[in-house]
A and B are shown apart, each in its own frame.
Chain A
Amino acid sequence: MSLIVFTEIDNQQYKKSSLEAISYGKKVAQSLGLSCIALSLDTLSDTASLGKYGADRVVSLGHNAAFTSDNSAQLIADACKQLGAQVVVISNTYTGKSMAPRLAVALGASLATNVISLPDTSAGFKVKRGVFSGKAFAYTDLSKATKILAITPNTFDIDASGSDVTPETLSVAAEASKISIDKSDKVVGKVPLTEAEIVVSAGRGMKGPENWNMVEELADLMGAATACSKPVSDMGWRPHAEHVGQTGITIKPNLYVAIGISGAIQHLAGVSSSKTIVAINKDPEAPFFKAADYGIVGDAFDVLPQLINALKN
């Protein structure tokens, strides 16, 4: 029996979240006495290197077609059946989440998304997942024989202490997708917000969209993705895809810098799992200071130039 890790390819490279998934999968496989197999839709020049991150076997399906939820779920499901999958690990990305449920149906498996712990298999198969949009966690016990775990990016460490593994190919026939992809717009060279290790986020305190160049400069210097609060996205100052919070996206970077955001409960829900939180706000009573590790009570227009200068030096 085996544990399968589904790896995502972006711009001809394995995504960091997929490498995290392999290292996570290795640990789970070891505890259950399973072999850890990294599954790749296509073969890349560095497919063998997936072994470094913990894969005992690396299997490529030799498909380079664009991803649609229906036929790739079918492909992965067929491969999982052939490889005797008992546990399947997927990143909880948009791609992972479009496929994981279909895979669960095809395999008759239990599904848990937003997973943030290794499974506790002392009695049953319990995992911890984020619920209430970051306001709480829940432990769920998965009862079907096959389990699918969609793990939250930037939660588990990458362990690159293994060695390369010669990739195998597995021939699985793909059914035609009912969906056609007409166009794909991807920002190249920018880390998606949900996978970013550092996020610089700003709110109404920036007074208007014309002042975002400062935020972007700070983010660039820190190697960070940019985000914003709900009012800012509602007013159209920034695209909705940048809105973090309860009705936006939930993130957990290593560092979250909040500039001119008061810290309403809905916003905090989406970011409170960040490892380190910095709040910059001119209002000393802003609720964000209660949720932050570091705070600067000051005007963003005074503080940001200082930070930018310090980073340049």
Chain B
Amino acid sequence: MKVLVCMSVVPDTTTKIVFTENNTQFNKDGVQFIINPYDELAITRGLELAEANNGSVTVVHVGPAENEASIRKALSMGVNEAIRIDAPAHDAQFVAEQIAEIAQGYDLILTGRESIDYNGGAVCGLLGALLNMPSVNVVTEINYADGKYSFTRDIDGGREMLSCKGPVVASAQKDLCEPRIPNMRGIMAARTKPLQVVAAKETTPASQYVAYESPAPKSGVKLIDPSNAQELIHILRNELKVI
């Protein structure tokens, strides 16, 4: 089983998001970057499946050289090899088009459900369509037996069990597994594992980010006396009319 995991590198979840250059650039100063949390799940489950089925795992990342520390972390988790496509991740469509170039020959392609920075949630479906493969998003379970993949996925208001033959693309949702923590042996081995850098192919851009905005701050909290909590219901019912 050959598994390809697409990983993105994102600001740590505790990051305060600030913009510069008249709100046109995300301020990376002092920001710690990590493997996108959902991609970590995809890597871990990819490794578990590959290990059980005599397979291998490749990670692919579209991004600049400064993200190689995160790629090495994926290698230290047990991933066999890595490919970095040398271009900034312009948008989901750009990323999917770049990955599609190297994604032939894999049995299972995994992504995160979404990246926690741009939240597109689109790469899984885009890759499926570009590669003419079925795609299954937001999966909480992936198993493989008798040449068939079975999935449990979140749907609106419930869950669904699906199955299909490979090759298939799926996106990882929380609950898929516990992210694997690299051990010392893995960290040492990662230093010498292959990390191939390939040039990006020319594509026609589908979109362009032109400006950012931070949410408007709240005007201040109105406190209600805890011994008179029913006042809240009165406000919600009669003043705001939301219940």
Say whether A185 contacts B159, CB under 8 Å.
yes
| Residue interface bits B149-175, CB-to-A below 8 A is 1, else 0 | 010011111111111110010000111
| Residue interface bits A274-313, CB-to-B below 8 A is 1, else 0 | 0111110000000001111111111100110011011100
Verify if B198 is at the interface (C-beta below 8 Å from A).
no
| Residue interface bits B106-129, CB-to-A below 8 A is 1, else 0 | 000000000011111111111011
Say whether A195 contacts B135, CB under 8 Å.
no
Partner of B162, one of A179, A296, A297: A179
Say whether, besides A136-B212, A279-B221, A194 and B136 are in contact (CB < 8 Å). no
- Which of these binds chain A: B50-58, B60-68, B72-80, B235-243? B235-243
> Chain A residues near B91 (CB, 8 Å)?
140
Verify if B223 is at the interface (C-beta below 8 Å from A).
yes
Verify if A30 is at the interface (C-beta below 8 Å from B).
no
A100 vs B135: C-alpha distance when bound (angstroms): 12
Tally of contact residues, A, Cβ under 8 A: 99
A240 vs B209: C-alpha distance when bound (angstroms): 32
Say whether A179 contacts B163, CB under 8 Å.
yes
Say whether B119 contacts A250, CB under 8 Å.
yes
A112 vs B118: C-alpha distance when bound (angstroms): 11
Say whether A192 contacts B134, CB under 8 Å.
no
A110 vs B218: C-alpha distance when bound (angstroms): 34
Verify if B226 is at the interface (C-beta below 8 Å from A).
yes
Partner of A105, one of B129, B153, B168, B210: B129
Say whether A255 contacts B242, CB under 8 Å.
yes
Verify if A111 is at the interface (C-beta below 8 Å from B).
yes
| Residue interface bits A254-265, CB-to-B below 8 A is 1, else 0 | 110000000001
Partner of B165, one of A73, A144, A178: A178
Say whether A190 contacts B157, CB under 8 Å.
yes
Looking at chain B's contact residues, the main secondary structure is mixed
Tally of contact residues, B, Cβ under 8 A: 82
Verify if B20 is at the interface (C-beta below 8 Å from A).
no
Partner of A69, one of B136, B140, B165: B136
B150 to chain A, nearest CB (A): 7
Say whether A98 contacts B157, CB under 8 Å.
no
Verify if B13 is at the interface (C-beta below 8 Å from A).
yes
Say whether, besides A143-B205, A177-B134, A135 and B215 are in contact (CB < 8 Å). yes
Say whether B140 contacts A240, CB under 8 Å.
yes
> Chain B residues near A100 (CB, 8 Å)?
122, 125
Say whether A265 contacts B207, CB under 8 Å.
no
* Closest A residue to B229 using CB positions: A306
Verify if A23 is at the interface (C-beta below 8 Å from B).
no
- Which of these binds chain B: A50-58, A126-134, A164-172, A206-214? A126-134
Say whether, besides A185-B160, A298-B226, A140 and B210 are in contact (CB < 8 Å). yes
B67 to chain A, nearest CB (A): 17
> Chain B residues near A302 (CB, 8 Å)?
226, 229
Say whether, besides A93-B156, A294-B224, A131 and B119 are in contact (CB < 8 Å). yes
A229 vs B240: C-alpha distance when bound (angstroms): 25
B122 to chain A, nearest CB (A): 4
Say whether, besides A97-B125, A99-B125, A136 and B222 are in contact (CB < 8 Å). no
Verify if A246 is at the interface (C-beta below 8 Å from B).
yes
- Between B11, B125, B137, B222, the greatest number of chain A beta carbons within 10 A of the residue's beta carbon is seen for B125
8 Å CB interface, B1-54 against A: 11, 13-14, 16-17, 19, 37-38
> Chain A residues near B19 (CB, 8 Å)?
136
Say whether B221 contacts A184, CB under 8 Å.
no
Say whether, besides A184-B158, A186-B155, A307-B233, A113 and B208 are in contact (CB < 8 Å). no
Say whether A139 contacts B215, CB under 8 Å.
no
B161 to chain A, nearest CB (A): 4
Give the interface of B toward A (CB within 8 A).
Answer: 11, 13-14, 16-17, 19, 37-38, 91-93, 96, 116-126, 128-130, 133-138, 140, 150, 153-165, 168, 173-175, 204-215, 218-219, 221-227, 229-230, 232-236, 240, 242-243
A104-B206, A105-B129, A247-B116 given; 18 more Cβ-contact pairs under 8 Å: A94-B138, A113-B121, A114-B120, A138-B211, A140-B208, A182-B161, A183-B161, A243-B174, A250-B119, A265-B13, A265-B14, A266-B13, A276-B240, A293-B219, A299-B226, A307-B229, A310-B230, A310-B234
